[in-house]
Structure 1
Amino acid sequence: MKFLFALAISVSVVLPSVQAAKEVFAHVIVGNVRSLDNADWEDNIKLAQEAKIDAFVLNIAQGDEGNEASLQTIFQVAESLNFKLFFSFDYKALGAWPKEDVIDHITRFGASPAYFKTDDDKLFVSTFEGPDNAGDWADIKATTNSFFVPDWSSQGPVVAAGLADGVADGLFSFDAWPNGDTNITIKSDLEYQDALGDRAYMMAISPWFYTNLDNPDFTKNWLWRGDELWDTRWAQVMEVNPDFVEILTWNDYGESHYIGPVREKELGLFDTSAPIPYVENMSHDGWRKFLPFYIEQYKTGAAPTEFEERVAAYYRTAPALACPDGGTTGNNADFNEVEQPPQDFNEDAVFYGALLTSDEGVTVTVKIGENEQTGTFTTFPASGAGTAGVYRGSVPFGGNSGDVVVTVSRDGQVVATAEGGKPLGATCEFDIQNWNAVAV
């Protein structure tokens, strides 16, 4: 778990009314988008719609002077494209939100047809932290007719569920990354569901995590294991069966867990706060490829039978020991984790996944520069080999460098190809290692 837990307490709660369920959202850092115009937002929203994402969660920091103009633009475009939005009030970035300002934002923007509502017409609202202000939310909910699902992960599931006499209608957990060099489990998710009982649980999914930033406000330089994380987590959604899923994130470039496009105008943070431009030309578009399948499977409880067969791949762009680690640690002691060398967390390998109706007669080739390897599948759909779903595997870098091309063929005929990402280098591009990944 990525947060310090307070002691558990027993509380009585009032259960919420019926909410919309089986919806998938993507977290948007509004502080990163002040340079985006209508055309950029049209592109963002159309990409999200193609991926079958239901809404953007707009993370807004208290007092950010760019909020108003950005929100006006986003809501205007969302209305024109029939897309949904809702707020996540950030209580950490620039401090706590005054209750009156929260009410004002929900009231004004909640009147938009683009604001996401539950089935019983309540305005969906979330937070990033803010447990010290839990007492504000009884009044906020009553005044705005809102359905409240905060992230109070720092408190742990039991304490968070009981804050302010159980004011939350559900909880969102930011616990989307594993602790250590093994894959993530669903232990934390089940603890949240147990603590919440009949209240809603919103589960977090993220593809990666690496950050290396240093400015007067914060210093952060660590990674969590990303190998196999994205597809593993979507498989876990089927086990947990949460009420909602929130993708972390659409555009948090500073922590390398974006699935939206990389736009140069959103990367100003790297001009002043990062030792290397670890997001530049590092596309994560490949992590959206299977979303229509995953989301339909989550919503219906069964693998879709009709879909376009596809392949996706991701990899870091240099071997782990090609240059100094940049002071990056695997894990972060601030979260009560044992720090380890970063190379222990991510393999020097090209990871690939194929969305197939069946793996019968299928072969995988991974070409790195002029070297071609034959891949195998090591992870299969829950229903087993020969069935529809995502098949996964990897091949090692093996000392090779150059363009990466992953091809899936069936009976000698090409089914799909993943290519076009930043080349894999034999040495690192900068004077320290870039622990971010490319996904194509």
Structure 2
Amino acid sequence: MRFMDKLKDYVHKEFGLGSGSRKVFAHYMVGLTCGQAREQWLHDVVAAKEAGIDGFALNIGPSDPWTEEQLDLAYRVAEQVGGFVLFISFDMAVGEWPVAQVVGLINRYKSSDAQMLVDGDSFVSTFEGPGWAENWRKVRQETGGIFLIPDWSSLGPYGVGQKLDLIDGAFSWDAWPKAGSTRVTTNEDRIYQECLRGKRYMMPVSPCFYTKLPQWNKNWYCPSESLWYDRWQQVLDVMPDYVQIITWNDYGESSYICDTAPAQIVQGAEKYTVDYPHTALRAVLPYFIAAYKAGSADIDLPGDETAVAWYRTTPVSAGPDGETQWGQGGCESAARGARDVISVLALTTGARQLTVAIGQSVWRFETSRKSTVSYFEVPFGDSTVGPVRVTLGQKFVDGPAIVNECCHGEVIFNHVAIKI
């Protein structure tokens, strides 16, 4: 390892990265942008920036003919907006990457004002690709230097720890409960931090996971009833070097937090993403991101008091499970892991009255007097269905009704999200 690399690693390990360097990114699927106009990029960049997100990790494959055209648009828009960074996340799971192609793309954007840099080097990431690992030595040489934070989750943290001479840190893709579990933990995050020995860790955060795309043999749900709350609380506990939200716009896996862009929805995902908005989930990001960067949850609320709620619109008993499994590689029905609840996350500056109504049933809560963050769950089921209303103080929002009938003949495990 070069002397300067050793010095940077030592300083980072001994003294920490510093709150001024913490950043939050969102994973953006460029493969969904064929023919996308500048206006959509502008909309997404502005919306992400307003939520407190620092930049996009641009996921690209090696063979989409529109990749460079769309990357050019993305970088130009981010440059014009300002204060928003981009970096390429090479998807190594969808095809072979020639070294020259990777080098060419990094060199193409390394001088952009929007390129995410660390110590003057282009920030670069991946989705998987540990078999390509040795090629990064040549990429470093031919680009003049990169700052490599790959996702090699298939190796696990201990496996990644055996390749520290090739990387500057690591990104984990394990943002969801594992098969058979209902809550995610920080166990994996802590092990990554230990195995990286002071190199930088990028922690994953996601709101949801549900996919049913038979053409790709994908059909599973990771319980997400408390996930958006759990994971941001865990960020404030772990305080990683970076955070990456998975994802901005992956409709096929229901992990999106963007405003719905119909042209990006992958074929087959329409029935579980159209009319299932997640935009509301961004309402809590300015607080959580500010707290993460400050290194403390004890900060002033950076906006108005708000509450967001997310829920499925049918009980799991309302119809067949569609053969959806409980977690990737699971052998049980997703209906066993999914909980019939409305999840509510409120940000307030003191005790406030919060109510949740489902039809004629009403639940009343009081938000915390001491903490900015309050979290509640309200159960629903066969006999507790109907229109949904969430009220915080004098403000309220109505959401889609919970019904006992599956409009597509089977339970949809994606959530809708609403905000006050």
Provide TM-score, normalisation by structure 1.
Answer: 0.87
In the alignment, which residue of structure 2 is the partner of 1:201?
Answer: 201
Distance in 1 of aligned mates of 2:26 and 2:400: 25
**Identical pairs, percent:** 37
State the shift of 1:232 in Å: 0.7
CA contact (8 A) 1:30 1:58 kept: yes
- Paired residue for 2:98? 98
The answer to whether the 8 A contact 2:391-2:397 is kept is yes
Q: Does 1:417 align with 2:411?
A: no
* Aligned ranges 1:32-431 → 2 under 5 Å: 32-82=32-82, 83-93=84-94, 95-118=95-118, 120-144=119-143, 145-163=145-163, 166-179=165-178, 180-215=180-215, 218-267=216-265, 269-270=266-267, 273-274=268-269, 277-302=271-296, 303-307=298-302, 308-333=304-329, 338-359=330-351, 362-369=352-359, 371-376=360-365, 385-398=368-381, 399-409=383-393, 414=394, 416-419=395-398, 421-431=399-409
Q: How far 1:366 sits from its partner (Å)? A: 1.2
CA deviation profile, 1:43-66 (whole Å, cap 9, x unmatched):
111110111000000000111112
Q: How many residues align?
A: 400
Change (3 A) 1:257 1:136: same
1:256 Cα deviation after fit: 0.4
C-alpha contact (below 8 Å) 2:361/2:384 kept by paired residues: no
Where in structure 1 are there 5+ consecutive unaligned residues?
Answer: 1-13
One-letter code of the match for 1:430? H
Supply the RMSD in Å over aligned alpha carbons: 1.9
Query: Partner of 2:402: helix, strand, or coil?
Result: coil
How far, CA to CA, are the matches of 1:128 and 1:16 in structure 2?
28
Residue 230 of structure 1: how far off its partner (Å): 0.8
Q: Aligned equivalents of 1:435 and 1:313: distance in 2? A: 15
> Do 1:376 and 1:394's aligned partners in 2 also have CA atoms closer than 8 Å?
no
Higher mean Cα deviation, 17-26 or 28-37?
A: 17-26
Deviation, 1:16, is: 7.1
Distance 1:79 1:350 in 2: 40
In 1, Cα distance between equivalents of 2:402 and 2:235: 32
Aligned to 2:231, the other structure's residue is in SS state helix
Report the Cα distance in structure 2 between the residues aligned to 1:125 and 1:15, rounded to whole angstroms. Answer: 20
Native 8 Å contact 1:252 1:258 kept in 2: yes
SS at match of 2:357: strand
Structure 1 counterpart of 2:354, which letter?
A: V
Runs of 4+ with deviation above 6 angstroms: none
Contact 1:85 1:115 in 2 (8 A): yes
Residues 90-114 of structure 1: CA distance to partner in whole angstroms, max 9, x if unpaired?
Answer: 0112x13111111100000122111
Structure 1 equivalent of residue 25 of structure 2: 25
Q: What CA distance in whole angstroms lies between the structure 2 residues aligned with 1:181 and 1:418?
A: 31
Alpha-carbon distance in 2 for matches of 1:290, 1:58: 23
Query: Residues 365 and 372 of structure 1 are in contact (CA less than 8 Å); yes or no, is this contact kept in structure 2?
Result: no
Unaligned runs of 5+ in 2: none
SS in 2 for 1:156: helix
Calculate the TM-score normalised by the size of structure 2.
Answer: 0.91
Instruction: Measure how far apart 1:431 and its partner are.
Output: 1.3
CA offset at residue 340 of structure 1? Answer: 2.1
* 8 Å Cα contact 1:311-1:417 kept in structure 2: no
